[in-house]
Chains A and B, each alone.
Chain A
Amino acid sequence: MFIKKMNSKPASRISLATSIIMCVTIIGLTGCGSSETPTDPQTPSGVQYILTAEPAEAINVGEFRESAVNGEDVVVIGRIGGDANPWIDGTAAFLITDTSLVPCNERPGDNCKIPWDYCCDRNTLKDMKVMVKIVDDSGGVVPVDAKMLLGVEELQYVTVTGRTEKDEDGTLRILASKIHIRP
């Protein structure tokens, strides 16, 4: 008894028009997002630091740590990892480990969620990892996350070309000007 007028033509036309307006509004609001051009997150912003060909005669991290001389030019190969978080936020710096170390996920039966921390090699890890800093032409560390700059991720094989920096207390780091990322 209380719905007898709901099926009349003017009311149905008004309902249809209202529905169309609402749909258009919702679509319009959804489409009005950021005015920034969408970027492909897979495209690194630091292509000038990336080498297309893997440098020859790279030495492993363990060998580098044993023979490092301050100021020497080096080519070092390693795998990104060595800590639960091998990255330094806000800078293009990260840890790499000797390629002879086996991460947890490559050991049979190991379902470790963070295999790049090499928790199974804790005793030898400290002699098998080193910090890599990507530096620009002025020698300063690039203030961009390495993941964004280079498009790298944990456990990737990388070969870095750069200069050794060794402090008086023996702290080693590689100031890398170029990097090759193995696919």
Chain B
Amino acid sequence: MLRLKLLPWEYGVRNLFRRPLRSGLTFCALATVLLLVMIVIGFVRGLETSMQASGDPDVILVYSLGMGENLEYSSISASTADLLPASLGVIKQRYGNAYVSAELYLATRIATTASSETTTGLVRGVTPSVLPVRGKVELVEGDWPGPGELIVGRLAATNLGRDIEELAVGRDVIFEGRKWRISGRFVAGGAIHEAELWCRLPDLQETLKRQDLSLLALKLSPSNSFAQLDMFCKERNKLELQASRETAYYATLSAHYRPVRIVAWLVVCLIASAGCFAAMNTMFASVISRTSELATLQTIGFGRGAILLSVLQEAMLLSMTATVTASLVAILFIDGMAMRFTMGAFPMQIDGTTLLVGCGIGFLLSLFGALPPSFRALRKPVIEGLRET
């Protein structure tokens, strides 16, 4: 029968406090490593979630042929907004109004009245039809923009690298040679639209001296399929239109960030390795300085297995305490922090996946940090261990 006489739980706990400075430094190192790991994973998760939230499976985008990856260069005729509902019976309608949102998309240099420094931001000219099409959009402060006004997304200030007060309701922003008053603020369910500034479509067209559109966003009626709209666009060569589901569009964009995600995970591995070596260093020092003590324990009847478990217990206590601390800091201070990234912004996400990976890495750090020094110490014959001082 299995009879493994274990060392008392308190033995492992007391050993940690026998060298409080060393244990404290290792705890700080592990907590820092794990916090960094969670920050990087939170960044990747935030980016992925933002892309997923931006795509509505019911929304179809119609834009210029071949401009899927650069919507700011897409140009379609304004008459397309009327042509599609008239030609196709597949678009959702309510009280005679088609769920078609005509939009003009612009990347331009934007300044605020607080600072003349300009940064690149995204402006979208829209009509009130955008609200039924993009159902996640919600005006949380102020009013829908009137002439010369615009509304800002929740993360627009982060995207522009400004303080949030500079883009408060009632303040002004300047782009394309004119001043625009901020009339309201909106949220979009975590979508990347939250990094944009939305103004009235006619105002933007007049400012830019153009009558075309960048894209149409529309919703199909439940009984109709995307194939009919796709066929319509592909048959009419002269219109040079392309249709795709919004989810497919953002999936394509997300694929471009794959190298970023790979680098992020590589950074996670490197940071975790550093943490592992820190833990290993502490446990090596802890075990080697107690060689005669461990030999004595074997002499009085405790097996190698029990000693191994005790060393693992010490490492586990240290590492998991650091994991819990790092998790709390991440949840309290990192979760939801807005990150500016290329042409948009998104919130960092310390979600279940992030915490699970962080805790898993913490567990593995303790395991790989404790096992090598334990094997090294226990491999030595008891007699030799007793001779060491």
Interface residues of A (CB under 8 A from B): 1-3, 5, 83-84, 86, 88-91, 93, 95, 117, 119, 122, 125-127, 129, 131, 169-173
Contacts and interface: CB of A to CB of B under 8 A. Distances in A.
A171 B2 contact: no
The 8 closest A-B pairs by CB, nearest first: A126-B237, A2-B2, A131-B235, A90-B227, A88-B231, A89-B227, A171-B235, A88-B227
Interface string B1-38: 11110000000000000000000000000000000000
Contacts of B225: 89-90
B238 interface: yes
Given A2-B2, A89-B226, A91-B227, A83 B238 contact: no
A106 to B, nearest CB: 19
Contact of B3 (A2, A117, A169): A2
Interface residues of B, number: 19
B234 A95 contact: yes
A24 B189 CA distance: 50
B238 A126 contact: yes
Contact of B66 (A95, A117, A131): A117
A51 B237 CA distance: 28
A129 to B, nearest CB: 6
A170 B238 contact: yes
Nearest to B242: A83
B72 interface: no
A84 B230 CA distance: 12
Nearest to B248: A85
A88 B240 contact: no
Contacts of B226: 89
Contacts of A171: 235-236
Nearest to A128: B237
Main secondary structure of the interface of A (DSSP, over half): loop
A182 to B, nearest CB: 23
Contacts of B3: 1-2
A67 to B, nearest CB: 16
Contacts of A173: 235
Nearest to A1: B3
B66 A129 contact: no
A123 B65 CA distance: 11
A89 B230 CA distance: 9
Contact of B230 (A3, A88, A122, A172): A88
B1 A131 contact: no
Contacts of B231: 88, 91, 93, 131
Q: Indicate the member of A88, A117, A119 with the most B CB atoms within 10 Å.
A: A88
Contacts of A117: 66
Contacts of B236: 169, 171
30 contacts: A1-B3, A2-B1, A2-B2, A2-B4, A5-B1, A83-B65, A86-B234, A88-B227, A88-B231, A88-B234, A89-B226, A89-B227, A89-B230, A90-B225, A91-B231, A93-B231, A95-B234, A119-B66, A125-B237, A126-B237, A126-B238, A126-B240, A127-B237, A129-B237, A131-B235, A170-B238, A171-B235, A171-B236, A172-B235, A173-B235
A3 B231 CA distance: 72
Contacts of B235: 131, 171-173
Contacts of B65: 83, 122
Given A91-B231, A122-B65, 6 more contacts: A2-B1, A83-B234, A89-B226, A131-B234, A169-B236, A171-B235
